[in-house]
């Protein structure tokens, strides 16, 4: 928080004028009074937690207000849905308003499935640190041979920042209905909104790039933002709040978009136009959005690149469930891989680049952890180590079993 | 403004070649730091700048330019800078859907097949400057960040190339000003589709421009201390001058970027 660059910038106005964007550097003298947010350490942006503390660390402290997080779904939408629910649960616990849009499940059903927060959770993050601390005195005595390495820090696989931000959730229980009721929530369930048969845009001469589903979602979202005053239009007598927007499975066939069905879709620019409009809306209001896209169904990689570039932060999940990697001993501790595809540059030239891009996640009952993937030392007698590069390479082809068999000739018979 | 880049390109705010079309392109990385460099460079040189910011808000550029020592709000008030905030204008077009009276600039959002005519009209009207007032500003400069987003929004490659050709004819040839455009591409490992939009746009623009800066990630993989490499290529205009290429690696800091020859990064030495 004592970053010198924050004092270089001009102190900005406190109130949000309606014609400027929400990317205003908040100077330290005026403390922002929105609950559940804090200024970022790197560049003073106002950030919120995604609900998963290790994901917050991976994307640079948290989600900046006014930006969009893209989650590329895993194959059965199990873990991406979990992240989606964590995001909404965090909004409920922090007192933010929610906006949920879905074409498959009713938003009320999604809200009833949110994980329960662990409110006395001071114990859980400390145990990781305590274990690390308790190991050190033992290792100091133990290092008799490798004493030159004594001063080096122990490799921490768990990613966590020093200050706590965000909450922990218990996945096995659902949130109390009373807590849920206390949060204001706006839902958009697509089957209820697809009423208009003749859309006015279809009668104009040109072809509208967005199908009716996306434009009605965009209009509905703008109406909610405007009515509740998130864009500063209504002078808010009550304290300012953040709107958390969750859009589930955009781009799937249920949204009347054939992006996932064909290699050359006819509405190829529908989702990108929608994301452009969403970006414009987010930049001018106090809101943050999470969008999940079933990218494993999109065959055209260039389209996925366009979609990624229109979002600010983008991560991709790849779960091991149902693939050959589930039984691979290398990945036995994890449920899947997480790839950070893009990090945003917000109001500054640099972003917080991670030093390691090999990340894996596992979903435990009380925590969704993201860790650095590293090879443990192979202490077996037979040198049958299959390198990680081969694993990832052959697993893409889909025959990691055969791959390790064919490299059996690594047994060098002297 | 990055001092090292100025020395690489042999330019300075006091002396730069008129009529240049500079193309900045990137693959799998973000080259927008170069756009910030050129924005602060030309503002310091006293040129009249027309900036088409299609992907970010004004306060984003303003905050970064503040760190580079240039104030965009002041430039806008004095009339030196004309800034098109694409995101703000687009909301009006996307939501209502009916033809608006005043702004036809972002019309391509409503009807991508109509091309970028509205955008070009905006550029043409704002680049000429005040006819009545004195010529207090230098030659006009057009900056576009970034042109490949219009491809994502449905505009055809031909329309985008037409737009850049018209802009070049107006800004560079007629008014002897300069133009800087950013194009972002996706690198394809195998050529699965021949007419991949941004590749075609890039090739067309390389043909039109006079100086390219192609930014890529390191070919050997991801590194925290070296953010990528820049290939600077001067296209020879005269007969005796051949195309000249130089390759540098770069690292972006909070207040600038440093450029160094391959292997000479301070992190490695």
Quick one: tokens of A154?
A: 């122990």
Is residue A6 exposed (0-12), middle (13-18) or buried (19+ Cβ within 10 Å)? Answer: middle
Contact call for A23 and B63, based on CB within 8 A: yes
User: Model ipTM?
Assistant: 0.91
3-state secondary structure A264-291: CCCCCCHHHHHHHHHHHHHHCCCEEEEE
Cα of A201 to nearest chain B Cα, Å = 6
Q: What is the rounded average pLDDT of the residues B146-166?
A: 91
Enumerate the residues of chain A whose CB falls inside 8 A of the CB of residue B197. 302
Counting every residue written for chain A, the total comes to 414
**CA A303 to CA A297: how far, in whole Å?**
12
Contact call for B188 and A302, based on CB within 8 A: yes
Cα of B92 to nearest chain A Cα, Å = 9
The answer on pLDDT for A33 being more than 80 is no
Residue of B nearest to A266 (CA): B154
> In chain A, count of helices (H) and strands (E)?
12, 14
- List the single range of A115-124, A363-372, B100-109 with lowest mean pLDDT: A115-124
Residue of A nearest to B197 (CA): A302
Share of chain A above pLDDT 70, in %: 69
Residue B27 near chain A (CB below 8 Å): no
A277 — pLDDT class (breaks 50, 70, 90): very high
- Probe site for chain A from B70, B152, B267 (most A CB atoms < 10 A): B152
Contact call for A349 and B188, based on CB within 8 A: no
A22 — pLDDT class (breaks 50, 70, 90): low
| Alpha carbon separation from B68 to A345, A349, B38, B64, B131 (Å, rounded) | 15, 10, 11, 7, 31
Cα of B174 to nearest chain A Cα, Å = 33
Query: What pLDDT does A120 receive?
Result: 65
Contact call for A222 and B36, based on CB within 8 A: no
A-contacting residues in B 204-233 (Cβ below 8 Å): 222, 224, 227
Residue B255 near chain A (CB below 8 Å): yes
Share of chain A above pLDDT 90, in %: 23
3-state secondary structure A369-408: EEEECCCCCCCCCCCCCCCHHHHHHHHHHCCHHHHHHHHH
Contact call for A204 and B111, based on CB within 8 A: yes
Q: Is the dihedral of CA A190, A192, A197, A199 positive or negative?
A: negative
Enumerate the residues of chain B whose CB falls inside 8 A of the CB of residue A349. 33, 36, 64, 67, 252-257
Interhelix angle B157-167/B117-127, rounded to 10 degrees, is 10
Is residue B255 exposed (0-12), middle (13-18) or buried (19+ Cβ within 10 Å)? Answer: middle
Q: Is the dihedral of CA A140, A141, A142, A143 positive or negative?
A: positive
Cα of B240 to nearest chain A Cα, Å = 39
Most confident listed range (A156-165, A230-239, A403-412): A230-239
User: pLDDT tens digits, residue range A294-352?
Assistant: 998 888 888 888 899 999 999 999 988 878 777 777 788 888 999 998 888 888 887 77
Quick one: tokens of B197?
A: 């939009």
Enumerate the residues of chain A whose CB falls inside 8 A of the CB of residue B88. 280, 284
Query: What pLDDT does B98 receive?
Result: 55
The answer on pLDDT for B17 being more than 70 is yes
Enumerate the residues of chain A whose CB falls inside 8 A of the CB of residue B37. none
Query: What pLDDT does A36 receive?
Result: 82
Q: What is the rounded average pLDDT of the residues B161-168?
A: 94
Residue B114 near chain A (CB below 8 Å): yes
Residue B35 near chain A (CB below 8 Å): no
The minimal CB distance from A305 to the residues B32, B59, B186 is found for B186
Query: What pLDDT does B181 receive?
Result: 95
Cα of B261 to nearest chain A Cα, Å = 21
| Alpha carbon separation from A235 to A26, A230, B23 (Å, rounded) | 19, 10, 44
The answer on pLDDT for A122 being more than 60 is no
- List the single range of A10-14, A33-37, A151-155, A398-402 with lowest mean pLDDT: A398-402
Query: What pLDDT does A207 receive?
Result: 55
DSSP A66: T
Query: What pLDDT does A311 receive?
Result: 93
A205 — pLDDT class (breaks 50, 70, 90): very low
Quick one: tokens of A404?
A: 């390790």
Contact call for B153 and A273, based on CB within 8 A: yes
CA torsion angle for A264, A269, A272, A277 (degrees, to 10)? Answer: -170
């Amino acid at each position: 928080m004592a970053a010198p660059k924050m004092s270089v910038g001009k102190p900005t106005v406190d109130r949000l004028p309606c014609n400027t964007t929400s990317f205003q550097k908040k100077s330290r003298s005026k403390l922002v009074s929105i609950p559940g947010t804090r200024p970022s350490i790197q560049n003073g942006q106002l950030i919120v937690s995604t609900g998963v503390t290790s994901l917050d660390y991976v994307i640079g402290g948290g989600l900046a207000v006014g930006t969009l997080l893209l989650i590329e779904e895993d194959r059965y939408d199990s873990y991406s849905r979990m992240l989606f629910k964590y995001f909404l649960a965090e909004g409920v616990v922090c007192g933010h308003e929610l906006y949920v849009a879905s074409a498959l499940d009713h938003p009320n059903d999604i809200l009833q499935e949110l994980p329960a927060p662990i409110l006395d959770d001071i114990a859980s993050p400390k145990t990781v640190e305590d274990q690390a601390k308790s190991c050190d005195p033992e290792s100091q005595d133990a290092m008799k041979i490798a004493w030159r390495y004594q001063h080096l820090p122990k490799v921490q696989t768990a990613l966590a920042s020093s200050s706590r931000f965000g909450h922990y959730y218990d996945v096995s229980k659902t949130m109390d209905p009373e807590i849920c009721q206390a949060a204001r929530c706006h839902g958009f369930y697509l089957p209820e909104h697809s009423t208009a048969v003749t859309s006015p845009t279809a009668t104009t001469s040109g072809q509208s790039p967005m199908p009716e589903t996306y434009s009605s979602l965009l209009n509905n979202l703008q109406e909610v933002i405007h009515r509740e005053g998130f864009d500063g239009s209504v002078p808010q007598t009550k304290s300012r709040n953040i709107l958390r927007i969750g859009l589930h499975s955009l781009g799937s066939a249920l949204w009347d978009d054939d992006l996932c069905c064909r290699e050359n879709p006819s509405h190829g620019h529908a989702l990108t136009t929608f994301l452009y409009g969403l970006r414009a809306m987010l930049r001018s209001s106090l809101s943050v959005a999470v969008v999940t896209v079933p990218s494993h169904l999109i065959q055209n990689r260039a389209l996925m690149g366009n979609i990624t570039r229109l979002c600010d932060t983008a991560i991709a999940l790849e779960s091991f469930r149902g693939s050959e990697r589930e039984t691979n001993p290398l990945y036995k501790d994890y449920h899947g891989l997480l790839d950070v595809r893009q990090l945003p540059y917000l109001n500054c030239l640099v972003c917080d680049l991670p030093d390691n891009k090999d990340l894996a996640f596992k979903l435990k009952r009380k925590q969704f952890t993201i860790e650095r993937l590293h090879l443990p030392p192979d202490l077996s007698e037979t040198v049958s180590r299959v390198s990680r590069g081969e694993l990832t390479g052959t697993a893409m082809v889909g025959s990691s079993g055969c791959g390790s068999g064919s490299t059996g000739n690594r047994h060098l018979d002297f | 403004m990055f001092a090292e880049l100025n020395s690489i390109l042999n330019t300075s705010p006091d002396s730069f070649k008129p009529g240049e079309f500079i193309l900045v392109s990137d693959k799998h990385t973000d080259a927008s730091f170069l756009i910030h460099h050129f924005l602060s460079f030309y503002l310091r040189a006293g040129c009249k700048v027309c900036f088409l910011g299609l992907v970010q808000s004004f306060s984003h550029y303003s905050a970064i330019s503040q760190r580079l020592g240039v104030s965009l709000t002041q430039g806008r008030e004095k009339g030196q800078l004309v800034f098109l905030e694409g995101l703000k204008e687009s909301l009006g077009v996307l939501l209502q859907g009916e033809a608006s009276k005043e702004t036809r600039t972002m019309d391509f959002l409503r009807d991508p097949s109509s091309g970028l005519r509205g955008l070009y009209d905006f550029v043409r009207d704002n680049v000429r400057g005040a006819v009545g007032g004195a010529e207090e500003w230098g030659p006009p400069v057009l900056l576009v960040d970034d042109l490949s987003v219009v491809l994502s929004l449905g505009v055809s490659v031909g329309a985008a190339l037409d737009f850049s050709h018209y802009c070049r004819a107006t800004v560079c040839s007629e008014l002897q000003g300069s133009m800087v455009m950013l194009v972002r591409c996706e690198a394809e490992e195998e050529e699965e589709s021949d007419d991949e939009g941004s590749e075609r746009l890039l090739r067309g623009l390389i043909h039109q421009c006079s100086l390219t800066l192609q930014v890529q990630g390191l070919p050997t993989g991801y590194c925290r201390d070296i953010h990528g490499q820049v290939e600077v290529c001067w296209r020879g205009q005269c007969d005796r001058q051949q195309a000249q290429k130089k390759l540098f690696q770069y690292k972006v800091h909070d207040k600038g970027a440093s450029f160094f020859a391959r292997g000479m990064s301070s992190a490695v030495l």
